Amino acid sequence: MYPAPRVLRRAAAAATVALLATAVGCAPQPEGKSSAAPSGSAAKSCTKGALATKTSGKLTIATDEPAYEPWFKDDKPANGKGFESAVAYAVARQLGYGNSAVVWQSVPFNKAFAPGVKSFDFDINQVSISSERKKAVDFSSGYYDVRQAVIALKGSKAAKATSIADLKDLKLGAQVGTTSLNYISDVVKPSQEAAAYSKNDQAISALKNGQVDAIVTDLPTAFYVTSAQVTNARIVGQFENQGGTPEQFGLVLDKGSGLTSCVTSAVDALRKDGTLAKLEKQWLSDAVDAPVLK
């Protein structure tokens, strides 16, 4: 969750998106059940380096700003450091685009998967695949299997929680439009309404200032927060994935994008040859076992 600027599609596609925007609305959509299956139409050709991208010969990749660790490094998506930056460049190379052909632009988290024509070829920003979001955008197959975790200040009542029931009377917070916030409402079902923040750093500040008892983020982000940002905080535990399909992050594309099948094939190839596992070990090695809250 932890969470750098795009030509209009053909008139028919623009009309389709406009109708979709009218039907679904412009607000970020809530999470449905996660799905590893990609969405979108098949591309006629996946000729390397010659795809019908927003800018000919270039691959435009978007993410939010700031770009947080461990997904990115030093708030610089273009440096190839951090898990998602490394994955983005690996996908680009699989598609036939060298590092110099990659163009980064900044797109807010919620805007990436809201209805409307996109100015990027794909977005990478810890966006969980869901049936609800697939109404507005396409997704590649999943590039990371994720769990959600709870963070609280050391010595607090929240830090002593060992079960979901122990969280019910606490004031919890998370970034708006995220699976983290959904886990609070759908899994914890707290007695008081959760606090929703437009940015994850706002949720972290709220935790520091005692405005919330605990916050929920994805597990790798939780390890980074507790090791580098709020050192007097600890990971209380992680949630089990809900349902039979694990929650996965996917690359976000235009609804009906001709690139979806090519990008999905690239992600699948990187999973098959072990590249994704290697990058996960390199950049997310701390995101290992944490107590499971039941």
pLDDT (tens digit, 9 = 90+) per residue, 229-257? 999 999 999 998 776 678 899 999 999 99
Task: Look over the chain and give the mean of its residue pLDDT values, rounded to a whole number.
Answer: 86
Q: Is the pLDDT of residue 88 over 80?
A: yes
Q: Whole-model pTM? A: 0.75
Give the C-alpha separation, 178 to 113, whole Å: 11
Q: Largest alpha-carbon pair distance within the chain?
A: 58
Q: Is the pLDDT of residue 112 over 80?
A: yes
Give the C-alpha separation, 126 to 251, whole Å: 8
Q: Is the pLDDT of residue 22 over 50?
A: no
Which residues have a Cβ under 8 Å from the Cβ of 177 and sit 6 or more positions away? 28, 109, 110
